[in-house]
């Protein structure tokens, strides 16, 4: 089965053009700004542009909803303990797809596949409350060295603005 002309082929072709002009920036893996950003995977969020970030400035951890799961704690722990980050910025957004899902999604998958996923959907109705929950998960993790600079935001997909969420 040929995949020529697929989206992946387009990405590989773009990478070849990128690599042709690529120069090693001479950086190591430690983020210059010592910050990790946890955000939703939503394709409308261009985090580097939205936050004025350059290559090498931060660690970016993305998943459905920007939810702080065990795997996000894993990445943040490595980010802090092995690579020197100190600050955590959490970014959810308006009009998120997780607002239209429920944990019933897992049940439907089980019916279709014959196996229940080990993970939770982490669906939510109140984006601000979910940001607060994510901040709390970071602040209370015993594995993180730095939980004093944890801030949460909602990115407005219509205006591009961040709105900070009070943790309480």
35 confidence band (pLDDT: 50, 70, 90): very high
Q: What is residue 115's DSSP assignment?
A: S
Number of domains in the chain: 1
Tell me, yes or no, whether 87 lies in a domain.
Answer: yes
Q: List strand residue ranges (DSSP E) for 4-161, in order.
A: 35-40, 58-63, 87-93, 150-155
Which residues does residue 91 pair with via DSSP β-bridges, in sequence order?
39, 153
**Measured distance CA(75)–CA(68) in Å, rounded:** 10
**Is it the case that residue 1 has pLDDT exceeding 60?**
no
Q: Among 1-10, 26-35, 56-65, which stretch is predicted with the lowest mean pLDDT?
A: 1-10
Tell me, yes or no, whether 6 lies in a domain.
Answer: no
**Is it the case that residue 2 has pLDDT exceeding 70?**
no
Tell me, yes or no, whether 4 lies in a domain.
Answer: no
- Domain extent for 118: 27-165
CATH of the domain at 34: 3.40.1050.10
Tell me, yes or no, whether 17 lies in a domain.
Answer: no
Tell me, yes or no, whether 7 lies in a domain.
Answer: no
pLDDT of residue 82: 97
146: alpha, beta or left? (left if phi > 0; alpha if psi -120 to 50): beta
**Is it the case that residue 51 has pLDDT exceeding 70?**
yes
């Amino acid at each position: 089965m040929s995949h020529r002309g697929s989206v992946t082929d387009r990405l590989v072709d773009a990478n070849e053009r990128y690599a042709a002009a690529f120069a090693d920036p001479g950086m190591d893996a430690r983020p210059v700004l010592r910050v990790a950003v946890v955000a939703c995977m939503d394709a409308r969020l261009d985090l580097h542009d939205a936050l004025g970030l350059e290559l090498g400035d931060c660690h970016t951890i993305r998943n459905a909803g920007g939810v702080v799961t065990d795997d996000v704690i894993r990445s943040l722990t490595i980010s802090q303990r092995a690579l020197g980050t100190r600050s955590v910025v959490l970014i959810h957004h308006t009009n998120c797809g997780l607002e239209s899902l429920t944990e019933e999604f897992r049940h439907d998958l089980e019916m279709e596949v014959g196996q229940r996923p080990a993970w939770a959907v982490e669906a939510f109705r109140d984006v601000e409350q979910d940001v607060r929950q994510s901040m709390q998960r970071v602040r209370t993790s015993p594995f993180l060295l730095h939980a004093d600079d944890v801030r949460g935001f909602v990115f407005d997909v219509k205006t591009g603005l961040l709105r900070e969420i009070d943790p309480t």
